[in-house]
Amino acid sequence: VTAGPTKEYIDPVRYISNKSSGKQGYEIAKSLSKRGFDTTLILGPTNLKISEKINVIKVETAEEMFKATQKNLPADIAIFSAAVADFRVNKNEYKIKKKDNFTINLEKNVDILNYVSNHNSMRPKLVIGFAAETNEIDQNASKKLIEKNCDWIIANDVSKNDRGFNSDFNEVTIHYKNNYKKDKLLYKKKSEISEEIVDRIVSQLS
Ligand code: PMT
């Protein structure tokens, strides 16, 4: 399970990141572990206090998250709940001095989910992505399901403050590959959403 944000450093003290708390991914990892899955959580920088007996690999940048993910293949199931920066910065060695104008050049990061879902020899049996969307949520999620070659994509409305990023609550819709059926998991605690996701994983694999 990947979770949390990534940090893309501009210089030694400044970075680009996002609001992800890692909570949703951590709850999924906890639910999997409780059901007996040997679970690894690849976690970006967060304030989470990890108490459960889950193997946690802490990373900061998208590149580190990618390397940690590669090291943990093969796996039966891969779940990508991390909010990975799409771009990185060519990090300046020293703290950048104040200037009137300043341009940051961004380079594309590897799409970790895309890599895993298309790396055929190592592809997990079940590849589950998330889609964080602020508009046309189901349409955009359906597109990502196909483009990223996932088995399921979990659409997450991130336009509201009471769910999604950095909240204890969520509401999501699971889109399944080759199946017009969608499953809406109504507004509830992220721990409960996670249990419902893992229920569906267990029934798919059994
Ligand atoms: O961490 P929380 O505060 O609990 O919030 C949970 C969440 C809102 C972050 C989570 O539920 C969620 O929606 N995660 C996906 C965040 C995201 O960045 O989605 P995306 O639509 O940009 O990316 C689509 C998918 O590709 C995601 O599975 C993402 O992990 C993956 N991706 C994206 C870019 C990249 N370079 N590598 C990736 O693996």
pLDDT by residue, tens only, the chain of 206 residues? 999 999 999 999 999 999 999 999 999 999 999 999 999 999 999 999 998 789 999 999 999 999 999 999 999 999 999 999 999 999 999 999 998 898 999 999 999 999 999 988 889 999 999 999 999 999 999 999 999 999 999 999 999 999 999 999 999 999 999 777 899 999 999 999 999 999 999 999 88
**Cα gap 87→91, rounded to integer Å:** 12
Show contacts of 180-188: CB within 8 Å, 24+ apart: 182/138, 187/162, 187/163
**Cα gap 191→119, rounded to integer Å:** 31
Using a 6 Å cutoff on CB, does residue 174 contact ligand 1?
Answer: no
For the full predicted model, state whether its pTM sits above 0.95.
Answer: yes
Using a 6 Å cutoff on CB, does residue 129 contact ligand 1?
Answer: yes
Q: What are phi and psi of 143, to 5 degrees?
A: -60, -45
CA 194 to chain centre: 13
User: Which residues have C-beta within 8 Å of that of residue 181, sequence separation ≥ 6?
Assistant: none
Q: How far apart are the first and last CA of the chain?
A: 20
Choose which residue among 17, 72, 81 to substitute to test ligand 1 binding: the one with the highest number of ligand atoms within 8 A of its C-beta. Answer: 81
